[in-house]
Structure 1
Amino acid sequence: MRTFRRRLTLIMMSLVGISMLAAGVTMAQVYKDSHIRALKENMAREILLLESTFDFLPMDSAEASDYYTAKARELEDVTDSRVTFIMRDGTVVGDSEMTSAEMDNHAHREEIESSVRDKIGSAIRYSETIGEDMLYVAHGVTSANGNFDGFIRLSMSLAAVGQEMNKGWYYMGGGLMILFLVAAFVSFRVAAGLTRPLEKITRVANRISRLEYDARVDLYRRDEIGQLGAAINGMADSLQQQLKVIRDNEELMESVLANMTGGIIMIDSSGNIALLNRVAEKIMHVSSDQIQGKSYQVLKRNYELLKFVEEGITRQEFLREERTIYNPEERILQLDAVPMFEDDDSYKGLLVHLQDVTEIRRLERMRSEFVANVSHELKTPIAAVKGFAETLLAGGVADKETERSFLQIIHDEGERLNRLIGDILELSKIESKRAPLEYAPVHLKDLFDNIIEMLGSSAAKKNISLNHYIPEHLFMEGDEDRLRQIFVNLLSNAISYTQEGGKVRIDCEITGTPDEEKITITINDTGIGIPKKDLPRIFERFYRVDKARSRSSGGTGLGLSIVKHLVELHRGTIRVESKIGEGSSFILELPIMQHTSETGSI
């Protein structure tokens, strides 16, 4: 913009300078012409005055040449002009600067010829005699007494005119220079007045191009530049408003994509990945920065997904399928492919929705297995009860001892059936959070003293050492009945799966951080141990490591599942470590204090 200002100023100064120079030359020429014209008129008047006052001598007189030469020299002093007397035939009879004999015939001189035609003749030419430009004015004269019939010519050097012209040029040049400087200053101010607002508008336009839509032109003018500034401000207002709408829509879309429970992959019409959300990144174990903008072929690690996308692009119609991928763990995905079309039905791309249904399918499988297991577990005692009852009713048992034995089996199977139904109802109640959970301070040493006293007889039958090492002062907040249920289950299992003469030990320590202290309780036994392959499923419902032994011990297969649910309701965790032939350790981490917002029902 500064270059433009300089150029504009230079152009204006050049135009002003050229105009002023042309005006000066024109004025000088007019001045020169006017001055010469005034000299001509003055010289003509002097000739006319001589014509009426001069005493002419007859031309045929012997003294005529000397007379006219002398008179010419006298007149030169008076008129300050060279005076020449010329006869009609062009012969010079007298001159104020040369003798007539030395001078050529003047009949064809311009001023003489024009005098014949126009009465007053004039010419300007270079004089070889004095070496200067001369102005010649001649007039035909015929004396009243008839003594002279010819021309009187006055001539004057134009050197004086040149001096006057030089003086005029000097004054005019000074004036023009002052005027030029004034014009230059005015031109600069005018150029600055035009370019500075344009500079502001340019700066604002550049800021807007850099996405600074809050930039505005600060101009208060009513001319075209002011209208341009107002148009720029209006454009910035419109862009800012549109950008806000776009950003709001982008934030809304990003929020929707980020908070969707399913994955989204958008593939454009060229087959490149245009968009994917965080859930899709998590499912495919990729980052959007790595694959966005690349061909969908980069999904080749997820082979089934790649084939589904290829099918969707090829068919360009809605597809829904469930496919299993391994990346690296097994996942079951419900895939939806939705083709995108423009208003003119031109293909725009493919939108793929990924829903991880692994957990849903696992729960459905668990539900199916649970129903099957419940049916199986109920069928066994019912079949036993029915069989022995039918035998007794048929009178097939004669002796009382056998009859008593059958009745005992019916009673035991009924008890087992009752325990099974009770555990199922208990687990259902816990999972549906319909049982109240009442928190209160629990003295752990008293709690374990009571549990060991209750289970002592069972341990004594197998000569198992059952001991705890709980500090006397240790309290925690929890539901005492539910905690008793947890530890009774765990200790009963430990006693059941520990051989005679074994040991069961309970240890306790405070862990965690000062802000959230926890109690770690470990139940160790020297039992048969749990195979490594069974450890991940040990807390599943009806899952048994040794099915025959569990059934013979009267277990329902729901105890550890109930334990896990109760531990989680106390905001705790439980895990198991075990080695075959060495024993098992169940490790519980429970918070000492419960958050009051979580008290209530489970």
Structure 2
Amino acid sequence: MTKFRAKLTFIMIVMIGCSMLIAGIFMAKVLEDSHVKSLEDNMERELRVIVATGDWSRIGSENELMAYFSQQAKRIKGVTNERLTYVRTDGKVIGDSDQEPGQMDNHLSRPEIAAAAASGVGYSTRYSDTLKEKMLYAAIPVKNEAKATIGFLRISMSLEQVDKSIRSLWYFLIVGLLILFLIAGLVSYRIAKGITHPIEKMTKVAQQITNMNYESRVPAYSNDEVGQLGLAINRMSESLQQQMARIRENERRLQGVMENMLSGIMMIDRDERIMLLNPSAENILGFSSQELLGKRYNEAKQQFEFTKLIQECIETRESIRDEMIFYYPAERILDIHLSPIAHEDEEWSGVLIVIHDITAVRRLERMRSEFVANVSHELKTPIAAVKGFAETLLAGALNDKDTAVSFLQIIFDESERLNRLIGDILELSKIESKRIPMNFSPIYLPEFLERSLHVLRKEAEKKHIELSMQVDEDMYIEADEDRLRQIIINLLSNGIAYTQDGGKVKVRVEPLDPNSDGDYERLRLIVSDTGMGIPKKDLPRIFERFYRVDKARSRISGGTGLGLSIVKHLVELHKGTIRVDSEVGIGTRFTIELPVIH
């Protein structure tokens, strides 16, 4: 502390010097006031001598009195060189050494006259508009033999000489003060600079640290206490920089996790307000964070059962897990897990809610269950038929040749149907798992469609169904030829199977959004028929596995119920889309849109 104490001593010396200067200024002011007081005392004595030696109770007309008292005032001024004024008790000036009394204002309100009337003597210092200079006034009352006031005698003198003396004194003091302050200022500056400059730098660094600029450092100074303080600030800044870097990294990681989580996260604080909502929760609940953050959970327009679940967790302070169906913004099955949040120093601080959308899981479970049931049913039917007819043959039907041949034909047909079913199941399994290779190559569509129609033409001729195609001569597409043929044949086979005798099945290909040069990036392939049509209630499920609109007719036609499901997956493997439009009794149209080039 020695160096700091030395600096502090210098500052104290400067402060003492300033105090002495202030004392000198005060003494100068006291000297000025003392000088003025001495003048006032002298003026009072002169007034009393003048009152005692003069006749101030003369009687006569006003003009005579003005002439007499003015002459007396001038005579006295010639001796004292001071202005003398005689004022009547009503304030009327009836004698003055310098001015005509008749031209002068009433003096009853003059400060010195008022003070003299009140206390026996009055003083005033002011600027005289008559003489155009600063004057010192003194007044006393003039009394008659009955001690009654008959007027006021006022004397005044110019303060020019006094002001000159005071100004000289002030000039001397000011010059001395300036010299002293200059010296003190230089000394103070040197001392202050040594102390304040490092502190200013430290203050700036502290402000930058407050503004989260943790790279700012204090320059190295001496090894005194100020230097040690700067070193401590630098260490603190370095530590804060490292800690903030770790905090930011953790925040980025947490933010990345929160934003990319498939599960919804919601946090409610101790005031029952929603304080956190990640993007998945926004999508699941159908509200943005701007709409929910800061609101109480029971004011957030949420499903009543969900709100009750939160209330139950807040009241019981226990973890709750439940499965719930939400109907907004879409029908979803949600797995909701609510956990109370508690810190070491607090009993309870809020609720953390984790929301899992398990709609797809439940749908898959249902589809898996339905698939197993459908497969079991589809496999059981032909197996039961084969077993039944085989038992009949073994029971003696072999002896009847015609019956035996009929039964064996049925067994063969059912085994073929069973073989097709197993083949389609295996094919669909490979397609769904995307384990089949796709061999893309250019395909000339007119020739490709002609060969596809040729495969089914005999089947169509049996029902007198007209097969036709409409495609431009210069149309090509890049696709897997075998899979594309599988798509076309499946759709054409369905059209033939569900179209009455004499109907029509047609394939049409058209470009999508061609530019001015006639080039296009996608094309539309339409397979339409004039069959029985599909009811509207069945359209959403038409591409599901084993789903049949007319189960009896499907079974007669030998279909497995997997064709359209296979078509849908093959179209998606070609990066395309498929949709169906149908009217009962009029016909059905499947529309496929595919990219021209992969």
> Normalized against structure 2, the TM-score is what?
0.68
- Aligned-residue CA RMSD (Å): 3.3
SS for the counterpart of 1:301 is coil
Q: Which has the higher contact order (CA 8 A, sep 6+)?
A: 1
1 CA distance for matches of 2:175 and 2:199?
A: 36
**Which 5+ residue runs of structure 2 have no aligned equivalent?**
1-9, 28-167
Conservation of the 8 A alpha-carbon contact between 2:341 and 2:348? yes
- Asked if 1:528 corresponds to 2:532, the answer is yes
SS for the counterpart of 2:570 is helix
2 CA distance for matches of 1:247 and 1:478?
A: 50
Q: 1:433 to 1:178 in 2, by over 3 A?
A: closer
2 CA distance for matches of 1:591 and 1:169?
A: 102
- AA of the residue aligned to 2:252: E
CA displacement 1:375-410 (0-9 Å, x = unmatched): 111222222222233333323587544443333322
- Asked if 1:576 corresponds to 2:576, the answer is no
Equivalent residue, structure 2, for 1:313: 314
Structure 1 window deviating more from structure 2 (269-278 vs 541-550): it is: 269-278
Equivalent residue, structure 2, for 1:541: 545
Conservation of the 8 A alpha-carbon contact between 1:208 and 1:236? yes
2 CA distance for matches of 1:206 and 1:437?
A: 65
Q: 1:182 to 1:544 in 2, by over 3 A?
A: same
Mapping of 1:152-167 within 5 angstroms? Answer: none
> How much does 1:175 deviate?
5.7
> How much does 1:192 deviate?
5.1
Structure 1 window deviating more from structure 2 (534-543 vs 417-426): it is: 417-426
- Asked if 1:459 corresponds to 2:463, the answer is no
- AA of the residue aligned to 1:201: M
> How much does 1:583 deviate?
1.6
Structure 1 window deviating more from structure 2 (214-223 vs 300-309): it is: 214-223
Q: 1:176 to 1:550 in 2, by over 3 A?
A: closer
1 CA distance for matches of 2:348 and 2:294?
A: 18
1 CA distance for matches of 2:537 and 2:422?
A: 29
Conservation of the 8 A alpha-carbon contact between 2:286 and 2:329? no
Q: 1:11 to 1:317 in 2, by over 3 A?
A: same
Q: 1:189 to 1:554 in 2, by over 3 A?
A: same
SS for the counterpart of 2:410 is helix
2 CA distance for matches of 1:588 and 1:173?
A: 104
Equivalent residue, structure 1, for 2:435: 434
- Asked if 1:565 corresponds to 2:566, the answer is no
Conservation of the 8 A alpha-carbon contact between 1:284 and 1:302? no
> How much does 1:254 deviate?
0.9
1 CA distance for matches of 2:514 and 2:528?
A: 25
> How much does 1:431 deviate?
2.2
Q: 1:482 to 1:168 in 2, by over 3 A?
A: closer
> How much does 1:261 deviate?
2.1
Equivalent residue, structure 2, for 1:391: 392
1 CA distance for matches of 2:24 and 2:438?
A: 110
Q: Which has the larger radius of gyration?
A: 1
Equivalent residue, structure 1, for 2:342: 341
> How much does 1:12 deviate?
8.4
Structure 1 residue corresponding to 2:591, chosen from 577, 587, 594: 587
CA displacement 1:315-345 (0-9 Å, x = unmatched): 3233322222211422111122233322367
- AA of the residue aligned to 2:463: K
Equivalent residue, structure 2, for 1:256: 257
Mapping of 1:391-410 within 5 angstroms? Answer: 391-395=392-396, 400-410=401-411
2 CA distance for matches of 1:359 and 1:169?
A: 98
Q: 1:458 to 1:226 in 2, by over 3 A?
A: same
Mapping of 1:137-148 within 5 angstroms? Answer: none
- AA of the residue aligned to 2:210: S
Equivalent residue, structure 1, for 2:558: 554
Q: 1:169 to 1:287 in 2, by over 3 A?
A: closer
Count of paired positions: 447
- AA of the residue aligned to 2:457: G
Equivalent residue, structure 2, for 1:380: 381
**Which 5+ residue runs of structure 1 have no aligned equivalent?**
1-8, 27-166, 595-602
Equivalent residue, structure 1, for 2:60: none
1 CA distance for matches of 2:254 and 2:354?
A: 15
Q: 1:12 to 1:188 in 2, by over 3 A?
A: farther
Mapping of 1:118-517 within 5 angstroms? Answer: 177-188=178-189, 190-191=191-192, 194-218=195-219, 220-343=221-344, 346-395=347-396, 400-511=401-512, 517=521
Q: 1:462 to 1:168 in 2, by over 3 A?
A: closer
1 CA distance for matches of 2:564 and 2:432?
A: 14
2 CA distance for matches of 1:234 and 1:298?
A: 48
Q: 1:439 to 1:173 in 2, by over 3 A?
A: closer
> Normalized against structure 1, the TM-score is what?
0.67
- AA of the residue aligned to 2:475: L
% same residue: 54
